[in-house]
Amino acid sequence: MSHAPARPLTSARATGPLHGTVAVPGDKSISHRALMFGALAVGETRITGLLTGEDVLRTAAAMRALGAEVTHDPDGTWRVAGRGIGGLTEPEDVLDMGNSGTAARLLCGILSTHPLFAVMTGDGSLRRRPMKRVTDPLTATGAVFMAREGGRLPLAVQGARDALPLEYRVPVPSAQVKSALLLAGLNAPGITRVEEPEATRDHSENMLRHFGASVRVDVAGAGRIIELQGQPELRAADVAVPGDPSSAAFPLVAALLVPGSQVTLPGVGLNPLRTGLFLTLNEMGAQVAIRNQRTEGGEPVGDLVVTGGPLKAVDVPGARAPSMIDEYPILAAAAACATGTTRLFGLKELRVKESDRLSATAALLSVNGVKVDIEGDDMIIHGTGAPPPGGGLVATHMDHRIAMSALVLGLATRDPVRVDDGAFIDTSFPGFVSLMNAAGAAISADA
Ligand code: S3P
């Protein structure tokens, strides 16, 4: 599989404060789900604010390949003409999920209870990531999966004809695994029951209800038990996708790190299972005000107003990880500029993201002169409060969040920070470089 040529980028220390309004793109998790639920519903689902990053475009293409009609209007509204539960048709060719673990894993759930044959692949990063965490439990529906060694992509699936409902305790906190099982349960009779050890993002549960399914959620200690009544008729519903808090994290931290900055981030999703970073930054002394809080499309949303200023070190407990799992690389960049020693606990799941993010984040810092240790699954970052030296070339390992975190760090370091490849930023945050530069950053393509 080929992908675009590497796009090296350099980020230089900001010469003045960042300012203005940065409109971050739509939430990636909600965008994937809106397309998938739309394809499984009866009628036409209209989606506004959909993220048009490459990950989500892969999901749109997969839904088309499975028989749903997915189009978009010139004003940016997307329309999905759904096939109804059980109504998807066999794809003619291999489904290529690109860089997206969410797309691949959630699709495994859908395919497992449709009686059709499909083959799925992805890019070099996705082909390295574990899929057994979904294919093992999904096998109990009656589906048959065949995959490469270690359960990795490419994989083939023959979906179950008379699927059985699942009852499963997810061993790791993973919204992707939970969601895959719930999606499978849509086309199985009776109740699908999923227990998660720690609460993870609940966009699937919210959207299932929004489309008319019956979902019951009980709190069980730190976790939750979710019960879905199978074979509902999903009715098409309009979805307004909020701004992605995981994307907002980059301009937000950038504004914090450049003294005197003031930046507004309108319409950012504030689902409490996604806001661990905001809580952590608050503990570090960051000034982030939430204005105009409201509910849009069943999700809490607000405008963030960020004022730059000094940060102090913090300890982040492992129990907070599910609510900020994608934000550790950018938090690490913030911690590198803070005063004192920051300890981030319980980061095991970071090893199976788009890259091994635990190692990639530590390398990002150390190559730029920041002292950092990994002890087991914990990361310890030694900040001095002074701008880190910078001057490093960061290996991004096909990981959009490593690239963006390094470029934000470069706004605060003494010498510029380079990344070997910024091309993958387009998977989740198209337009990142121009938005940041419009706010006062100095990120440039290497000549
Ligand atoms: C996601 C869940 C998380 C997150 C990913 C999106 C989702 O993955 O890292 O970016 O949309 O369900 P895990 O479920 O693997 O933790």
Q: Return per-residue pLDDT of the chain as tens, 447 residues.
A: 445 789 999 999 999 999 999 999 999 999 999 999 999 999 999 999 999 999 999 999 999 999 999 999 999 999 999 999 999 999 999 999 999 999 999 999 999 999 999 999 999 999 999 999 999 999 999 999 999 998 999 999 999 999 999 999 999 999 999 999 999 999 999 999 999 999 999 999 999 999 999 999 999 999 999 999 999 999 999 999 999 999 999 999 999 999 999 999 999 999 999 999 999 999 999 999 999 999 987 899 999 999 999 999 999 999 999 999 999 999 999 999 999 999 999 999 999 999 999 999 999 999 999 999 999 999 999 999 999 999 999 999 999 999 999 999 999 999 999 999 999 999 999 999 999 999 999 999 976
Pocket test for ligand 1, best of 174, 182, 399 (most atoms within 8 A of CB): 174
CA distance 123 to 298: 33
Please give, one letter per residue, the 3-state secondary structure of the chain: CCCCCCCCEEEECCCCCCEEECCCCECHHHHHHHHHHHHHCECEEEEECCCCCHHHHHHHHHHHHCCCEEEECCCCCEEEECCCCCCCCCCCCCEECCCCHHHHHHHHHHHHCCCCEEEEECCCCHHHCCCHHHHHHHHHHCCEEEEEHHHEEEEEEECCCCCCCCEEECCCCCHHHHHHHHHHHCCCCCEEEEEECCCCCCHHHHHHHHCCCCEEEEEECCEEEEEEECCCCCECCCEECCECHHHHHHHHHHHHHCCCCEEEEEEEECCCCCCHHHHHHHHCCCEEEEEEEEEECCEEEEEEEEECCCCECCEECHHHHHHHCCCHHHHHHHHHHCEEEEEECCCHHHHHCCCCHHHHHHHHHHCCCCEEEEECCEEEEEEECCCCCECCEECCCCCHHHHHHHHHHHCCCCECEEECCCHHHHHCCCCHHHHHHHCCCEEEECC
352 CA closest ligand 1 atom index: 15
Pocket test for ligand 1, best of 325, 350, 427 (most atoms within 8 A of CB): 325
pLDDT of residue 296: 86
- Considering the candidates 27, 96, 123, 326, report the single residue annotated as catalytic: 326
Residue 148 Cα to ligand 1 middle (Å): 22
Residue 413 Cα to ligand 1 middle (Å): 30
Does 179 sit in the ligand 1 pocket, CB within 6 Å? Answer: yes
177 CA closest ligand 1 atom index: 14
Does 175 sit in the ligand 1 pocket, CB within 6 Å? Answer: yes
Residue 222 Cα to ligand 1 middle (Å): 18
> Token digits for 290?
């939430």
- Specify whether 373 is catalytic: no
Closest residue by Cα to atom 16, ligand 1, is 174
Find where tokens 């506004």 sit.
Answer: 48
- Own/partner long-range contacts of 319-322 (Cβ < 8 Å, ≥24 apart): 319/198, 319/222, 319/346, 320/276, 320/279, 320/280, 321/173, 321/276, 321/346, 321/347, 321/349, 322/173, 322/175, 322/198, 322/199, 322/200, 322/201, 322/273, 322/276
pLDDT of residue 2: 45
pLDDT of residue 3: 58
pLDDT of residue 1: 40
- Domains, the chain: 9-26+242-445 (3.65.10.10), 28-240 (3.65.10.10)
Pocket test for ligand 1, best of 27, 28, 29, 357 (most atoms within 8 A of CB): 29
Does 296 sit in the ligand 1 pocket, CB within 6 Å? Answer: no
Closest residue by Cα to atom 9, ligand 1, is 326
- Own/partner long-range contacts of 148-153 (Cβ < 8 Å, ≥24 apart): 152/127, 152/128, 153/97, 153/104, 153/120, 153/121, 153/122, 153/126, 153/127, 153/129
Closest residue by Cα to atom 13, ligand 1, is 174
Does 325 sit in the ligand 1 pocket, CB within 6 Å? Answer: yes
pLDDT of residue 447: 63
8 Å CB contact between 377 and 222: no
8 Å CB contact between 252 and 303: no
CA angle 290, 296, 316 (to 5 degrees): 45
